[in-house]
Structure 1
Amino acid sequence: MVEKNKEYVLNVINEGYEGEGIAKVEGYPIFIEGALTGEKVKVKIVKTKKTYGYGKIVEIIETVEDRVEPKCVNFKQCGGCSIQHMSYKKQLSFKLGRVKDCLSKIGGLSEDIVKDPLGMENPYRYRNKVQLPIGKVNGEVVVGFYAARSHNIINIKNCLIQDEVADKVSSLTRKWINKNHIEPSTIDGVFNPKGILRHIMIRKGFKTGEVMVVLVATTKDVPFIEEFKELIVSSIEGIKSIMLNVNPKETNVILGDKNITLYGGDTIQDYIGGFRFYISPGSFFQINPMQTKVLYNKVLEFADLTGEETVFDVYCGTGSITLFLSKKAKIVYGVEVIDEAIYNAKENAKINNVDNVKFAVGKAEEVIPALIKKGIKADVIVVDPPRKGCDIKLLDAIGQTKPKTIVYVSCDPSTLARDLKILQGYGYKTIEAQPIDMFGQTSHIECVVKLKQMI
């Protein structure tokens, strides 16, 4: 019987889906954050459940060559880069194993269909967007990220996976708040109904160098807002847009419904593979521009278009994949539930002189059946859903549409495997799964999967 608070010397035999090490005591699994397969560690048991427990490393007795010293000083506190203690080679190996495990155990698929991950040249400073919560901890103004599994904000001054401009904007924001004694909406992890400032969002176009700063507040009447605007304009190279987003609700949702333009326009621009895109505060745009082109080219390869196909691009966001598909398709229909994203998608098509795309606003599980009823049949369907995967009604609609090819883009191997199993029930065979690392130093992995109709 494993006892809480007791110390054990254990051999780490595997990794969990979040990158934590797994050891066993008489068959009872212990999840150990920060431990690597092959290591011998002394562990203190911090939590026990009926079928598994959690341990905290007291001492690493024997280590492995896969372990590296994390570059970030916030690694042990921040809930973001949970596998930064792994070499990048080990990170890719871990992610490959995770994809194989999910697809085989959940989807019932052969591990042989999963190819080696396509990694980055440099797995640092790759993100073009960051959303930093603002709060007070022990009376000190903090701007940063949440600690793992909590709402406690860690004061981050230098994040190694964000663009450097984010560090500079967060520093300026912190100084402005302190100088003017503006109350944040979170104090010691608890919502402060009298508080004003919630988040600071920074977006950057890596090709254009254009920067957008979005201050999220509980009210449109933010004190000293002109000073904030002037500070950002005078200090940030490439600043093209400063927005105030109003979100008065006690919610975990970051952005509210109202945007006020304080400086410049309400969008910035960036390029992917020759296409130019407008990006607004709430629109989806891949966060790793260095790997996005790799991802989209793989989607095009799997779609295997000849120029005669009708394509549905589901969860199309601002239409970035839609435009890539348009290069080799007869017509592409993009579907997205967010109005603002579809507005951007239409503008993106216009500025790129693409005339063989059409966009529709609405839930995919409702729009796709409506297109089918109009007699519009897809030869190829591309889906790029959120982490929770596809709605079952959408999968049913795809199964009834019976496209020859489905290309599934996923950021979560577990929900991907679940959905692939459902699509197999509609007569589809999963041909190939290509992991692409968009999220270095984290446990997340993107996948592009090709399915073909077999019956």
Structure 2
Amino acid sequence: MDNTRPKEQSVHRLHIDGYASDGSGVARLDGMVVFVQGGIRGEECEVQLTHVGRSALWGKVKQIITPSPARTDPQCPYYGRCGGCQYRHMDYAEELEAKRIRVEDALRRLGGAEVTVPPVLGAAHIDRYRNKAQFPVSPGPRIGFYRSRTHQVVDVEDCLLQSEAATRLRRAVKQWMQTWSIPGYNERTRTGLVRHVYVRTNRAGRSLCCLLVNGRGVPRQSELVAALRQAEPGLAGVVLGINESHSNVILGEHYRTLWGEDFLSDLLCGHRFQLSVPSFYQVNPDQAEVLYAKALEFSGLTAGETALDLYCGIGTISLVLASRAGMVWGAEVVPQAVDDAIRNAQWSGIENVRFLCADAGEAARRLAAEGVRPDVVCVDPPRKGLAEDVVNTIAAMAPSRVVYVSCDPGTLGRDVKRFAALGYTLRKAAAVDMFPRTAHVETVCLLSKLNAKQHIEINLDMDELDLTDAEKKATYQEIKDYVLEHSGLKVSSLYIAQVKQKCGIIERENYNKPKSEDAKQPQCPPDKEKAIEEALTHFGMI
């Protein structure tokens, strides 16, 4: 046993010299990385260790010896307990620089790109900017947000990031549950009724409220509707979402309207959009306009060119690109979102856009059958980034430019490296602060093809390409990259397989099974098991 290693709960004086991807400060102790909750770059702090791993340490600020000029009062009673915000202890300028460093580091270290990221495009409003709230509910009832790295619900009366309408509607649901003894959902026992309270608002001050429930209906339905209507004068509709799955999925399998309308409309970039409950729509419309303007700028589209917008959702980026392109094709796998996209184009009178209900492979096949070769491909994937087959599909289409909109610098860096291997070089990047006070940041990258003599040709059998399964799960390398990016730990494929098997998500025989029944196989250490489980949760696998 190594008695020289630091012990949990021990206190050490450390210098904070950077930031981790989750907003924590980064320090060094005896050659090991220490992730310090609440630390700011340049500070000397007394840090109490909360977890000792094999190759990294975690701690929290116990006392500040030399405070940073950027340190501020969080002005939120839940800060440090609720997992929503990570940067309320520093001023906004320092937050933006922390995010810029994170994006640049991911593109350089994971993407292998020599790039300098300019100052992050910051927001004019850093509070009350979110147009969508998803409050988890647990027995009590407690309605709020998860404590950091747990599924323990912190009861939050008011969140400074959410609209005041969301606060009023949350309060009304809680009072209705208390009055009529409506049970909150218990994840462990899979019992109880109300799982989430969902509120979407638009720029005109109208709101849509949806209850996601573990059942086919709710008791005291008329009382619920009356309570919500009384609490929020701008309420447009009340929707019930059915979610009886034994998973962490938030949204429902089916929806029905209890009162009013089941959608909102909103204006973005001069276009009107219809938003149903499951529709993807950026939560900060002011910054979304900044983000999409940058994507349009990077696309360099001209009137004679064709663009393909993958993961187009309800068509927001597609309609923006259509203002410059000769033709835009949008592809999305969610049928309801495609219906919304078609309607949104009709509302705006835009005729040079078409939408396909298809994944990347199917979109490529259908466009190829029609003789369409896009000059620009734009992607705005979920946090897990692009499956490797999707990168191959895009390269096979041979667009001259790829515009990549990303909400996760880690998976963006990984995909930039994949594109580079196929002849697409990162030309420039811009970061947009879509989520002030949180560790999340959006990035837009322009990747362009090398000249015709240098680029790599890919022979891809479109008839055999099926990305459905590939997009549902992360590869072992993706899990390794995520763990390294977010915890500083290196994990083996064997350890990942062990954790997947323990979680019940491995359906094949362990490929690292010992040849002898008596052979001893290394077992995944607890700190790496925890980090792998966080990665599996991040990729929606558990």
Per-residue CA deviations over 1:136-168 (Å, capped at 9, x if unaligned) read: 2xxx32110000011110011110111111111
Equivalent position amino acid for 2:198 in 1: M
2:124 is the alignment partner of 1:128: no
Paired residue for 1:383, among 375, 379, 384? 379
- d(CA) in 1 for partners of 2:262, 2:158: 27
Give the equivalent residue in structure 2 for 1:116. Answer: 119
Equivalent position amino acid for 2:159 in 1: C
So what's the TM-score if we normalise by structure 1?
0.96
2:29 is the alignment partner of 1:25: yes
Alignment map for 1:282-361 (pairs within 5 Å): 282-361=278-357
Q: Does structure 1 conserve the Cα–Cα contact (< 8 Å) formed by 2:46 and 2:62?
A: yes
Give the equivalent residue in structure 2 for 1:88. Answer: 92
Q: Does structure 2 conserve the Cα–Cα contact (< 8 Å) formed by 1:365 and 1:391?
A: no
Runs of 4+ in 1 over 4 A off after TM superposition: none
So what's the TM-score if we normalise by structure 2?
0.81
Q: Does structure 1 conserve the Cα–Cα contact (< 8 Å) formed by 2:197 and 2:212?
A: yes
How many residues in Structure 1 have an aligned counterpart in Structure 2? 447
Give the equivalent residue in structure 2 for 1:446. Answer: 442
Give the equivalent residue in structure 1 for 2:51. Answer: 47
- d(CA) in 2 for partners of 1:131, 1:249: 17
2:205 is the alignment partner of 1:201: no
Q: Does structure 2 conserve the Cα–Cα contact (< 8 Å) formed by 1:159 and 1:167?
A: yes
2:400 is the alignment partner of 1:396: no
- Cα distance change on mapping 1:19 and 1:193 into 2, 3 Å: closer
2:429 is the alignment partner of 1:426: no
Give the equivalent residue in structure 1 for 2:488. Answer: none
Q: Does structure 1 conserve the Cα–Cα contact (< 8 Å) formed by 2:360 and 2:393?
A: no
Paired residue for 1:76, among 70, 80, 99? 80
Give the equivalent residue in structure 2 for 1:365. Answer: 361
Question: What is the DSSP-based 3-state SS (H/G/I as helix, E as strand, rest coil) of the residue aligned with 1:248?
Answer: coil
Equivalent position amino acid for 2:394 in 1: I
Unaligned runs of 5+ in 2: 452-542
Q: How far has the Cα of 1:41 moved from its partner?
A: 1.3
Q: How far has the Cα of 1:373 moved from its partner?
A: 4.0
Q: How far has the Cα of 1:134 moved from its partner?
A: 1.2
> Superposition RMSD on alpha carbons, in Å?
1.3
- d(CA) in 1 for partners of 2:405, 2:233: 34
Q: Does structure 1 conserve the Cα–Cα contact (< 8 Å) formed by 2:217 and 2:240?
A: no
Per-residue CA deviations over 1:187-223 (Å, capped at 9, x if unaligned) read: xxx43444111111000111x2221000111122311
- d(CA) in 2 for partners of 1:159, 1:258: 28
Q: Does structure 2 conserve the Cα–Cα contact (< 8 Å) formed by 1:198 and 1:217?
A: yes
Equivalent position amino acid for 1:119 in 2: G
Question: What is the DSSP-based 3-state SS (H/G/I as helix, E as strand, rest coil) of the residue aligned with 1:395?
Answer: helix
- d(CA) in 2 for partners of 1:160, 1:172: 18
Equivalent position amino acid for 2:181 in 1: H
Q: How far has the Cα of 1:397 moved from its partner?
A: 1.3
Give the equivalent residue in structure 1 for 2:470. Answer: none
Q: How far has the Cα of 1:232 moved from its partner?
A: 1.3
Q: Does structure 2 conserve the Cα–Cα contact (< 8 Å) formed by 1:333 and 1:359?
A: yes
Give the equivalent residue in structure 2 for 1:256. Answer: 252
Equivalent position amino acid for 2:120 in 1: P
Q: Does structure 2 conserve the Cα–Cα contact (< 8 Å) formed by 1:369 and 1:397?
A: no
Unaligned runs of 5+ in 1: none
Q: Does structure 2 conserve the Cα–Cα contact (< 8 Å) formed by 1:381 and 1:405?
A: yes
Alignment map for 1:119-268 (pairs within 5 Å): 119-136=122-139, 140-186=140-186, 190-206=187-203, 208-268=204-264
Per-residue CA deviations over 1:401-454 (Å, capped at 9, x if unaligned) read: 111111110111111111111112222221110100000001111011112222
- d(CA) in 1 for partners of 2:41, 2:250: 37
Q: State percent identity of aligned pairs.
A: 35
Equivalent position amino acid for 1:181 in 2: S
Equivalent position amino acid for 2:185 in 1: S
Q: Does structure 1 conserve the Cα–Cα contact (< 8 Å) formed by 2:115 and 2:428?
A: no
Question: What is the DSSP-based 3-state SS (H/G/I as helix, E as strand, rest coil) of the residue aligned with 2:277?
Answer: coil
